[in-house]
Structure 1
Amino acid sequence: MSNNIDKELPNPPNDSISSLSFSKKADYLAVGSWDNSVRVYEVSPQGQSQGRAMYTHQAPVLSVCWNEEGSRIFSGSVDNTGLMFDVVTGQATQVAQHDGPVKVVKWVNMPHARVLVTGSWDKSVKYWDLRAPSPIATVNLPERCYTLDANYPSMVVGTAGRHILTFDLAKSPMLFQNIVSPLRLQTRVVTCCPDKSGFAIGSVEGRVSFYYIEEHEKRNNYSFKCHRQNSSSKEDQSLIYSINDINFHPVHGSFSTCGSDGAVHFWDRDARLRLKSFSRAPGPITCSAFNNTGSMFAYAVSYDWHKGFSGMTSGLPNKVMIHGVKDEEVRTRAAKR
């Protein structure tokens, strides 16, 4: 991008923005919203954007993702369904069904199958072959699914009750290890590391934890505080904000965090250092995404419902911003040597 000013997407959704996802093949951004819509924008290298498509659910959209080829978008909704949108034909069809809201959709490429994985508040994860109307497998969870991510062969699910379920999809899509989150309060997001060594966990207590999968690496597990502000009150020394999203840079392996405090930070995972802090936005950052090359970073400034319906007041911002990523903002200390 030609300057340091983050660019705003035109014609944003009319309600809170729940999910952002870039295509892996081109700079197309899918945006899911509480206004029941999924909007698709084409984003230029200069940060200029224009709407290309839109489709709707019958209730708020909670999650969006693309397939590997960039030809289809998947979305999960409070209407208990998962939809598939064909970007060539412009048609949306139902491909998943749950007994509760679909909180997460994730496209997973396995050696012998490509499946849509859906996690729901009905306490289940389902695997869908798009050629069949019924799930090819269903995993019953101990609690409601709040977050899910996969980077074959690993898949991680975070649920209510601080359960963290780890799957080795190469062995079985059904069996999982259930661990208790190392963070004390509710899990908001889990994100798999690009090197497949483990995953990051973000919680409502303003903490991030890294958890390594292999037993010999677990000594490297660590947690740190972030998204906190000093308080003027003598009784409360800091204001604590939820971690709403974590994303890894696709090239350098550094990662981003965004929170209810309106802040975005880029971090060096191994050196455990902050690489960049954005200027604080006038509202919570609900979700974020790097594009496939890591040259752009999208983030949504929107109400994140942490205060419930009463917190949804008029005048709150509702926008998607595009940041042109500089190499020095995301290169890890090891890469700079």
Structure 2
Amino acid sequence: MSTLFGGNTASTAASTNNTQGDLSKDVEVTSPPEDSVSDLSFSSQSEHLAVSSWDSKVRIYEISETGQSIGKALYDHQAPALSVHWSKDGTKVVSGGADKAARMFDLQSGQATQVAAHDEPVSCVRMFQAPNAGEMLVTGSWDKTLKYWDLRQQQPAAMVQIQDRVYTLDVSQGLLVTGTAERYINVINLANPTAIFKTIQSPLKWQTRVVSCFPDASGFAVGSIEGRCAIQYVDDKNASMNFSFKCHRETPSTGIANVYSVNAISFHPTFGTFSTAGSDGTFHFWDKDAKHRLKGFPSVNWSIPAASFNRNGSIFAYAISYDWSKGHQANNPQYPIKVMLHPIKEDEAKPRPPAKKR
């Protein structure tokens, strides 16, 4: 089932006042990375933001109540850093990189150590609470494996062979979802982490760019390179609630749509609504339950490769930098590299009450 949220172009949505977002209060993070941003992650315990970059570094910033940022720490990979995530207690940051390693930075000691290894680049990392085993790390790689790590040991606690290169993964409560090359989506119940609970082909016809789990772990969202997003529920009895919609598209006067990659999908921690951000330089807030666009924001005129809400949903961070969607030849020294902080007004991300029936 394919539906359309409020028109098939960003400009259509932004043209109506009640869905027009405002970027004028957005604040730029000081001392941004020196190359394209690959990922953003907020701590769940404090106002700290971790940023991974193609300059092979991970930077950690402290964000004040007024949106000002202070660089607190920096550590290195030996090749581009591709993914970053926080431990649940907010004392450590983990990251994966093209150096085929995952690294952990301890904020208290200021030390970074290698904690995982693969045969190919580590494209995504997530910390999660394992049933009866405490906090663990899961890493996904282009070597077509998932590996689970008990960080007290040097060897992986378990490994899962995947059909193809892992491009993206996410975890929420007991749910783990991976998106791979050739459009495979794997669903894993972390109560049985070495078994794939379900494999589907993406409901979207083009390459998967991002997967993001619902906060209640009942399903996940999928974004593709072709300006579409899909909402999928895990339980087959909810299959009738699955749908996809067009986003991050422009239809100029020629009538031929320009489509852009959906690079990032993030769920609001309080409201359960979600954001999409894309190569067209826009981000939008959506209500999946009402199948409704809440806010569409003007284009920043450059790609947005990564985005994330903070722990209470009061700040939305988004990166402005090249996203490699057009290959190496489209990158140029004039491309800006910024991390922006957008203060959330409640009406921007909060579900709207249903319209009263007459």
TM-score (norm 1): 0.96
Structure 1 residue 133 corresponds to structure 2 residue 163: no
- 2:72 aligns with 52
Which of the numbers 240, 246, 271 marks the counterpart of 1:219? 240
Structure 1 residue 15 corresponds to structure 2 residue 45: no
Q: Provide the C-alpha distance between the structure 2 equivalents of 1:336 and 1:82, rounded to a whole number of angstroms.
A: 48
Q: Provide the C-alpha distance between the structure 1 equivalents of 2:99 and 2:217, rounded to a whole number of angstroms.
A: 33
1:78-89 matches, cutoff 5 A: 78-89=98-109
TM-superposed CA distance for 1:300, in Å, is: 0.1
1:4–1:324 Cα contact (<8 Å) kept? no
Amino acid in structure 2 at the alignment position of 1:17: V
Q: What's the secondary structure of 1:279's corresponding residue?
A: coil
2:186–2:199 Cα contact (<8 Å) kept? yes
- 2:125 aligns with 105
Q: Provide the C-alpha distance between the structure 2 equivalents of 1:196 and 1:54, rounded to a whole number of angstroms.
A: 32
Length, aligned pairs only: 333
- 1:249 aligns with 268
Q: What's the secondary structure of 1:329's corresponding residue?
A: helix
Q: What's the secondary structure of 2:160's corresponding residue?
A: strand
Which of the numbers 224, 231, 242 marks the counterpart of 1:203? 224
Deviation string, structure 1 residues 106-138 (Cα, Å, up to 9, x no partner): 001123122100000000000000011110101
Q: Provide the C-alpha distance between the structure 2 equivalents of 1:176 and 1:132, rounded to a whole number of angstroms.
A: 27
Q: What's the secondary structure of 2:52's corresponding residue?
A: strand
Q: Pairwise CA RMSD of aligned residues?
A: 1.4
Q: Provide the C-alpha distance between the structure 1 equivalents of 2:353 and 2:215, rounded to a whole number of angstroms.
A: 16
- 1:143 aligns with 164
TM-superposed CA distance for 1:314, in Å, is: 1.8
Q: Provide the C-alpha distance between the structure 1 equivalents of 2:166 and 2:206, rounded to a whole number of angstroms.
A: 15
- Shift in alpha-carbon separation, 1:327–1:336, aligned structure 2, 3 A: farther
- 1:163 aligns with 184
- Range 179-188 or range 274-283, more displaced: 274-283
Q: What's the secondary structure of 1:122's corresponding residue?
A: coil
Deviation string, structure 1 residues 225-283 (Cα, Å, up to 9, x no partner): 0000013435xx21000000000000011100000000000111111111111221121
Amino acid in structure 2 at the alignment position of 1:109: Q
TM-superposed CA distance for 1:23, in Å, is: 0.4
Which of the numbers 80, 83, 87 marks the counterpart of 1:63? 83
Which of the numbers 328, 340, 351 marks the counterpart of 1:309? 328
Q: What's the secondary structure of 1:247's corresponding residue?
A: strand
Q: Provide the C-alpha distance between the structure 2 equivalents of 1:294 and 1:228, rounded to a whole number of angstroms.
A: 26
Q: What's the secondary structure of 1:217's corresponding residue?
A: helix
1:252–1:335 Cα contact (<8 Å) kept? no
Structure 1 residues without counterparts, runs of 5 or longer:
none
Q: Provide the C-alpha distance between the structure 2 equivalents of 1:13 and 1:149, rounded to a whole number of angstroms.
A: 24
Q: Provide the C-alpha distance between the structure 2 equivalents of 1:166 and 1:294, rounded to a whole number of angstroms.
A: 26
Higher relative contact order (CA 8 A, sep 6+): 2
Q: What's the secondary structure of 2:313's corresponding residue?
A: coil
- Range 278-287 or range 183-192, more displaced: 278-287
Which of the numbers 269, 274, 287 marks the counterpart of 1:268? 287
